[in-house]
Amino acid sequence: MNVNSRTRCVLVCAAFIGLFSIFSFRLIYLQALKHDEYAGLAAEKHVHKQIIHAERGTILDANKEVLADNIPVQTVVADATHLNNREAIVDLVSKELGLPPGQVAEKLSSERRYIIVKREVPEAQAAALREKLRAANLRGIYFEHDATRVYPNASMLCHVIGFTDFDHRGIQGVEASMEEYLHGQDGFRFIEHNRAGQEIVPYRGQERPQRDGYQVHLTVDLSLQNIVENEIDAAMKEYSPKKATIILMRPRTGEILAMANRPDFDLNLRSEAKPEEMKNRAIIDMMEPGSTFKIVAAASALNERKLRPDSTIFCENGLWNFGGAALHDHRAFSYLSVRDILVKSSNIGAAKLALSVGEQRFYEYIRRFGFGERTGIELPGEISGLIRPPQAWSKISITRIPMGHEVGVTPLQMTVAMAVIANGGKLVTPRIIKSINTPEGKTISSLSPVVQRQVISAETAREIGDALRGVVSDRGTAAAAAVPGFTIAGKTGTAQKVDPKGGYEQGKYVVSFAGYLPADHPEFVGLVVLDDAHTSKPELNYGGLIAGPIFSRVAEKAARYLDLEPHEEIRKAIPLERVEKTTPAQRIRKPGPAERIALTNASHH
């Protein structure tokens, strides 16, 4: 071999070596340095992360009646990169799903890999579309398992249950407050498709199963709720009030047995609901409670031992000038015992009870009853109401607040306050959640009664309770609230509506009744509130004449449902010692168990 041949051989070998070196370096570059990048591109092209949606937990009443559930549906989606015949797919999909062809064509015109064509497609409809796509060999349309939230009872308990959005997140009510437990945790799996867009099952990759949401059991009894709903509907038909609320609560445990508001809305047609219909007025509406608030003044005076139940107070014969302003009673009363101040609902008597305690102590009792703070119920949006400190009171506030003016309370706060009397003076946190369970039935959390504080002594609570029995008698303001066979304790309220522009609206009232049954061993506390009820005559627009009878009907049906044993009907007031009117000199020195006190402003400002 000559020199030239060897040279050529060396050059050829060098060229091959160089060429293979380049290929080797390129291979190393792609396999080692660029591996992750190209693996990601390949996975993006063929591997898809499929979300396994967790099923939202159900909501049930105290007896496991379903209040909110899920119906399986399909979400129709498209991968634009897999579409093999857009025109035929648009025609078929639009026809089967009942969508305008132009809308479908616009959605599929992009090159996105995930396009939502339609949500909440019934299973049968989705199966029919899937079969027709397969028969026509059309690719690029996929189906995802989903569920739609349904509420079997429509508008019943709507403000308590609440609802969800398109992403199955709670928006209002228990759906929102219990979102953490109801939502569950989505799972996922990585799947690989072939050229036809079908999953290659043997190549299925990492997978994490979903955890379905927990079941939430409410304290509400659907049968009691039905009683309340029927009665509030009847009241709306008879009196046409602007708003109405009825609440039933078990005083010893704080369990809400029923809660209804009007106006209301159908949970399954929530997109058609007006904002005013969606408000849970039991916890977000603020009202002046009127005379139901007098239990606070009476309880504070008795608990401080300033007076006894049979102590008498001069009620100024129906007109009292205090602080430069006149305070009226609905009737002219002379001397009334503390007990009769509640029975007869004397504004002047209640004002003097508060005066006997003093501004600061009276304010402290108002707060101890739970006013001015949220009750703590497991519902979103609750307000604390409006209770001003004594520093912000006017000269006459001490005489107006005892009769439920100059304060803002929610219906639930008023119910809880009445429950204090029924529960031996204890303030119990109201509850709407009974327990939280797994789908298999295992209890995750079971909520127990929470006693916040002892507001008044058990003895004081008993004394106020005895007086409230007299309210629901022929001598009291709520004879119409009586239930045959049971002793009822309660208090009426009639408050003129506050004008947003200042002062009060003429001829418009918030009427209410709060009470409990049976009086000697309360099984439930009830509150009825009607805002701006319309009556044939103005003199009929009182809590005892409107709210009282509604309470009576609710309580009678509730007692029958709860299988409470009736006793001999008691309609007369509890026995009271009759005190003869005496001269001022005799009143000062007269001994005896029935202390009589005439608290008055001597100068009559």
User: Which CA distances in Å does 346 have to 152, 341, 472, 476, 543?
Assistant: 47, 5, 15, 11, 14
Count of CB atoms situated within 10 Å of the CB of 323:
15
What is the spatial distance between Cα 387 and Cα 318, in angstroms, rounded to a whole number? Answer: 27
Q: What is the pLDDT of residue 246?
A: 98
Residue 514's SS3 state is: strand
- Please check whether residue 462 is in contact with residue 519, taking contact to mean a CB–CB distance below 8 angstroms: no
User: Do strands 426-428 and 433-437 pair parallel, antiparallel, or not at all (unpaired)?
Assistant: unpaired
Q: Which domains does the chain have, with CATH numbers?
A: 50-218 (3.90.1310.10), 222-264+284-433+450-597 (3.40.710.10)
Extract the tokens encoding 218.
């409410």
Query: What burial class does residue 97 get, using C-beta atoms within 10 Å of its C-beta: 0-12 exposed, 13-18 middle, 19+ buried?
Result: middle
Provide the Cα torsion 469, 475, 476, 480; round to 10°.
Answer: 90
What is the spatial distance between Cα 451 and Cα 110, in angstroms, rounded to a whole number? Answer: 61
Extract the tokens encoding 462.
């008993």
User: Do strands 215-218 and 59-60 pair parallel, antiparallel, or not at all (unpaired)?
Assistant: parallel
Q: What is the pLDDT of residue 579?
A: 36
Count of CB atoms situated within 10 Å of the CB of 518:
20
Question: What letter would DSSP give residue 422?
Answer: H
Residue 10's H or E segment, with its range, is helix 3-28
| Torsion angles phi and psi, residue 107, rounded to 5 | -65, -40
H helices of 514-568, in order, are 543-561
Question: Over 149-216, what HEC string results?
Answer: EECCCCCCCHHHHCCECCCCCECCHHHHHCHHHHCCECEEEEEEECCCCCECHHHCCCEECCECCCEE
Q: What is the pLDDT of residue 539?
A: 81
DSSP labels, 215-279? EEEES--HHHHHHHHHHHHHHHHHH--SEEEEEEE-TTT-BEEEEEEES---GGGGGG--GGGG-
Question: What letter would DSSP give residue 328?
Answer: E
- Please check whether residue 280 is in contact with residue 159, taking contact to mean a CB–CB distance below 8 angstroms: yes
Report, in angstroms and rounded to the nearest whole number, the Rg of the chain calculated over CA atoms: 36
- Please check whether residue 141 is in contact with residue 93, taking contact to mean a CB–CB distance below 8 angstroms: yes
Residue 93's SS3 state is: helix
Residue ranges in the chain modelled with pLDDT below 50: 203, 569-605
User: Which CA distances in Å does 351 have to 231, 253, 332, 503?
Assistant: 34, 32, 15, 20
Q: Which residue is it, tokens 């439930």?
A: 524
Q: What is the pLDDT of residue 586?
A: 38
Q: What is the pLDDT of residue 109?
A: 87
User: Do strands 443-446 and 47-52 pair parallel, antiparallel, or not at all (unpaired)?
Assistant: unpaired
User: Which CA distances in Å does 212 have to 53, 55, 174, 442?
Assistant: 8, 5, 17, 13
- Please check whether residue 159 is in contact with residue 259, taking contact to mean a CB–CB distance below 8 angstroms: yes
User: Do strands 433-437 and 443-446 pair parallel, antiparallel, or not at all (unpaired)?
Assistant: antiparallel
Q: In terms of residues, how long is the chain?
A: 605
Q: Which residue is it, tokens 């995930």?
A: 114
Considering all CA atoms of the chain, what is the largest pairwise distance in Å, rounded to the nearest integer? Answer: 154
User: Which CA distances in Å does 407 have to 131, 282, 293, 495, 496?
Assistant: 66, 16, 10, 11, 13
Query: What burial class does residue 188 get, using C-beta atoms within 10 Å of its C-beta: 0-12 exposed, 13-18 middle, 19+ buried?
Result: middle
Q: What is the pLDDT of residue 473?
A: 92
Q: What is the pLDDT of residue 39?
A: 60
What is the spatial distance between Cα 174 and Cα 151, in angstroms, rounded to a whole number? Answer: 13
Count of CB atoms situated within 10 Å of the CB of 310:
18
What is the spatial distance between Cα 395 and Cα 406, in angstroms, rounded to a whole number? Answer: 12
Count Cβ neighbours within 10 Å for each residue of 280-295 and write b for 16 or more, e otherwise: bbbbbbbbbbbbbbbb
Count of CB atoms situated within 10 Å of the CB of 546:
25
